[in-house]
A and B are shown apart, each in its own frame.
Chain A
Amino acid sequence: MTLLTFFGCAFTAYGPSLAIFFGFIAPNPQLVILLVSSRAESGLNMVAKHPKSVYNRSGYAFAAGMGFGLMFGIISYITQLVQSTGPGILMCISCPGISLYFVSAITTCILILHHSVWMMISFTGFTMRSYPRILWVIVSHYGASYLTLLNASPTVTLGCVYSIMGNIVLLLASIAIVMVDVRNLQQKLA
């Protein structure tokens, strides 16, 4: 019975990021190296399929972010996930109807994606010296983290819903920024 929870939580937490990994990153060995090491951009550019492509940097940033995100997702959630194979569960304090394992799985899923887009924004921010972007990454990082405190809030009813919704909103905002940057690049190319 508890295996249901384990697989449910595992798919929820890592399913989307693994889909992205296998869909976007795994086919490209350079991105896999970046995902694991995040430190070989210039070298990799030389052996890239399109060494001069302006999208290389975005792709590298995404892969590096995904690597960072997966690392975060595994370290922060694996203990709980292993625990979920046991018969007992811990209920989410703010949402007593849902197990904390599942709420954490959703949060983990979102935060892994967050890391990917944060890395892309940071790359752009630092290359273009765009301080608002850097600031956004820092602030939204803190925001996303502090929002998860609502999960354990005994006073805020349905705190976990606010936490997840807030995180999704932040993620969408970050994605919007990334899309704008890519559009700019595209226009520059055109």
Chain B
Amino acid sequence: MDATRSGTRRMLRRLVMGLAAFCTLTTAQDSYDAVYNDIGSLPCVRLLNATGAIGCQSLNAASGVLYRTDTLADIQHFASDHDLKNKYTVVMPYWLLTSSNVETLRSTDKLSAIIAVVNGTDAAHTVAARPATINSPDSKCPNCEFGLYANTPNQYQWNPTGTDLLSQQFDFPIYALNTMDDRNIMSYNAVIQAVNINRFKGYSSYPLKSLQFHSFMWAAQDTGTCLRKGWCTPVGGASVWSTPSLNISSSDNKPIVVISAAMDSRSLFHDLTLGVESSITGMVTVLAVAEALSRSSIPLDTMQKHILYTLFTAEAWGFSGSQRFVQDISSPVNCIKPPASGSGCTYPFFSDLDFQHINPANIDIILEAGQVGGITSPAGGSPTLYAHIDNLQPTASAALLTQIVQVGSGALGNTTTPPATNAAVPVQAANGDGTQRGLPPSSAMSFLKARATIPTVVLTDYQKQMSSFTSQDLDDTWDPVNTVNAIQQAASVISKTAWMQAQGVSDATLMTPAQQQAIGSIQVNVQLVQDLLLCLTRNYSCPLIDGYLNVTASPSPPTRLPHYAGTLYSQSQPFSIFAWNFLANVTSVKGVTQNATGVPPPQVTGCSSRSETVQCTSDQFCVGDQCIQTMTRYHDAFGVGLGMAEDNSYFIKDASKPTWTESTWDPVGLRLFDVTSPGSQGGELAAGIVLTIVSIVLVVFGRRFLKKTLKVD
């Protein structure tokens, strides 16, 4: 009986204690939530190369009273206002984030952090409030130190108004706000509401709203140091190459037509990096070319030349993707440690060795799509495409340039079918004005560095100067008419030129009637261009991508995904994965080619939806629920200045080549809260001390009084 009672009592006691602990915890969380508002964050992070570091770092959890600046005058007022005695977080529109403004703020010793509003609903943050031209934050010649003309004196500056903000080092946090989804809209609204309260109070009537940042970056100094300590990872990802020639071989002596573009872009805030003009337009062009060429009535794998599509990533980081690809296909693989099973090599690491089928000596021409968005912001006007060639070996590419311009001029009849109200986008030689500028920064340079005489044309929408959107976080829109027209024309010109080249025709007028008829089958799908633009920028869960990857099956289907290359092997590569699937599908051997008896080869479908019953053979891949054979492969992309050791660690192999790494960082976070003035905090401390001292005095006197009157100790 007693035992039962004591057992019950013990249980009761446990229950009460558990309840008390729960209440205490709940209270702690509740009171935290009452004080702090954790908001989403889009940080600027630290990157390193062989010689130093760029981007942002904050050793301590910086916090500052929110201060709003909408104009240059506001920034100057902040700098000269001596009544501001605290540390401040300055909220400004993105376009005010220039090197000089940052320096002005930093030199005041009042700056704690900067918040740049990329897009917002407040009048000061709308597109209308932006100045006509916002200079690119990239260097005056992006990546040119790793390009073809790195050793050429006075190389042409393609981005003369570039502010080079991206290559600066900031020892305080910089974060972005962008109203791109619900979570970020909430963050934006919270910060703007708070900063407006502070402005209303004249930044003097406390409590004021303050923001604290956690953005500690582990890496310091440079890539060599941080790699030794294991505090950084190479910037990189997966490039994709694909050819319709399943039997391509390094010894087939068949020339190769390379059609290339970059997949990635860069900007200050990697979560916001889209690079619509910077790189997506080029990527869309190559995908549209691949789709157009797949409709050729003459099978591509039967032509005189191979066609090779290459989409490189980490190009914004010293052409890492293309340089590594060229390096790997140019040197024989000496596999020291073969894999236990499967293809590839364990050390040096390669996931497959099929790139050895590509003989660099066979590369016959290169056609590259650069910035072809035709976003002639803000004046409007219709775009023109310019074909650039190398100026060191101009004769090598002269014939190809003539052919491109000829195809672009509509020599094959109506090359494009733009909407009735818009004329076809003209294609001109970039050196048509008599100035030889050479190639703009492009992946083709990596091939030309290996062999300078490859005929190469890079197609862009600029003749002399890159878009001011280059490497900007604001590079997130396009012109629904001009951009689609320009991409369509670029894709049309590249696909037809490539087709003719693959047929061994260098002049449109020399084509046989059969060829003239066959080339008519190559039409760029405008709807596809529009879909790709949308899918690759704002909606990764669009039907086109969903058809390949079933992304809508995920609990939260992705929409806008960043085009920053990411870190090697540690971040997913959504655009590489999509490009692989898309290229695999359009270059694969399916029902399009017919075998000798005129019967299409049997198609196997259901490998994804009914994976338990339908399985592809070992030489096949399951793409879009269909078993296909394809010569489409990923290729690791990271700076060729870096090497990978046998233990999977990285080291600097050649400091003169790209060695970009990204620092590892603690979880970044922002929290919003009220602060009192330093004066009132001092007052609280003084009050506490005074109260305690008075109490001690009273106790001493009290003891004496009691001893005297009551005769007790």
Query: In this complex, which of B32, B695, B698 has the most chain A Cβ atoms within 10 angstroms of its Cβ?
Result: B695
Whether A19 sits at the interface, judged by CB under 8 Å, is: yes
The reply to whether B684 and A9 contact each other, CB–CB distance below 8 Å, is yes
- Contacts of B24 on A, CB cut-off 8 Å? 79
Whether A140 sits at the interface, judged by CB under 8 Å, is: no
- Contacts of A20 on B, CB cut-off 8 Å? 695, 699
Stretch from B533-541, B567-575, B630-638, B669-677 contacting the other chain: B669-677
The reply to whether B684 and A4 contact each other, CB–CB distance below 8 Å, is yes
The reply to whether A89 and B674 contact each other, CB–CB distance below 8 Å, is yes
Query: Taking A15-B695, A23-B703 as contacts, is the C-beta distance between A8 and B685 under 8 angstroms?
Result: yes
- From A28, which residue of chain B is reached at the shortest CB distance? B713
- Contacts of A4 on B, CB cut-off 8 Å? 678, 681-682, 684-685
- Contacts of A182 on B, CB cut-off 8 Å? 710
- Contacts of B698 on A, CB cut-off 8 Å? 19
Q: Chain B 443-474 against A: per-residue CB contact (8 Å), 1 yes, 0 no?
A: 00000000000000000000000000000000
The reply to whether B695 and A186 contact each other, CB–CB distance below 8 Å, is no
Whether A86 sits at the interface, judged by CB under 8 Å, is: yes
How many CB-defined contacts (below 8 Å) exist between A and B?
120
- Shortest Cβ gap from A3 to chain B (Å): 9
Tell me the A66-99 residues at the B interface (CB within 8 Å).
79-80, 83, 86-91, 96-99
The reply to whether A83 and B35 contact each other, CB–CB distance below 8 Å, is yes
The CA-CA distance from A111 to B234 in the complex, in Å, is 60
- Shortest Cβ gap from A189 to chain B (Å): 9
Stretch from B8-16, B336-344, B610-618, B686-694 contacting the other chain: B686-694
Whether B119 sits at the interface, judged by CB under 8 Å, is: no
- Contacts of B63 on A, CB cut-off 8 Å? 87
The reply to whether A15 and B688 contact each other, CB–CB distance below 8 Å, is yes
- Contacts of B28 on A, CB cut-off 8 Å? 79, 83
The reply to whether B691 and A109 contact each other, CB–CB distance below 8 Å, is yes
- From B693, which residue of chain A is reached at the shortest CB distance? A15
The reply to whether B699 and A19 contact each other, CB–CB distance below 8 Å, is yes
Query: Taking A10-B688, A90-B674, A91-B674 as contacts, is the C-beta distance between A16 and B32 under 8 angstroms?
Result: no
Q: Chain B 634-660 against A: per-residue CB contact (8 Å), 1 yes, 0 no?
A: 000000000000000000000000000
Among A2, A7, A23, A55, the residue within 8 A (CB) of B688 is A7
- Contacts of A27 on B, CB cut-off 8 Å? 713
The CA-CA distance from A86 to B212 in the complex, in Å, is 10
The reply to whether A1 and B681 contact each other, CB–CB distance below 8 Å, is yes
- Contacts of B34 on A, CB cut-off 8 Å? 90
The CA-CA distance from A102 to B686 in the complex, in Å, is 12
- Contacts of B684 on A, CB cut-off 8 Å? 4-5, 8-9, 12, 99, 102
- Shortest Cβ gap from A95 to chain B (Å): 12
Whether A49 sits at the interface, judged by CB under 8 Å, is: yes
- Shortest Cβ gap from A109 to chain B (Å): 7
- Contacts of B712 on A, CB cut-off 8 Å? 50, 53, 55, 59
The CA-CA distance from A49 to B713 in the complex, in Å, is 10
- From B212, which residue of chain A is reached at the shortest CB distance? A87
Whether B304 sits at the interface, judged by CB under 8 Å, is: no
The reply to whether B31 and A88 contact each other, CB–CB distance below 8 Å, is no
Whether A35 sits at the interface, judged by CB under 8 Å, is: no
The reply to whether A8 and B681 contact each other, CB–CB distance below 8 Å, is yes
Whether A24 sits at the interface, judged by CB under 8 Å, is: yes
Whether B548 sits at the interface, judged by CB under 8 Å, is: no
Whether B322 sits at the interface, judged by CB under 8 Å, is: no
Whether B702 sits at the interface, judged by CB under 8 Å, is: yes
Whether A34 sits at the interface, judged by CB under 8 Å, is: no
Whether A105 sits at the interface, judged by CB under 8 Å, is: yes
The reply to whether B676 and A99 contact each other, CB–CB distance below 8 Å, is yes
Among B36, B210, B691, the residue within 8 A (CB) of A16 is B691
Chain A residues with CB under 8 Å of chain B are: 1-2, 4-5, 7-12, 15-16, 18-20, 22-24, 27-28, 49-50, 53, 55, 59, 79-80, 83, 86-91, 96-99, 102, 105, 109, 182, 186
A-B contact pairs, 24 of them (CB 8 A): A4-B684, A5-B685, A8-B681, A8-B683, A9-B688, A11-B685, A12-B691, A15-B688, A15-B691, A15-B692, A18-B692, A19-B699, A23-B696, A24-B703, A28-B713, A50-B712, A55-B710, A83-B35, A86-B35, A86-B36, A88-B36, A89-B676, A102-B684, A102-B687
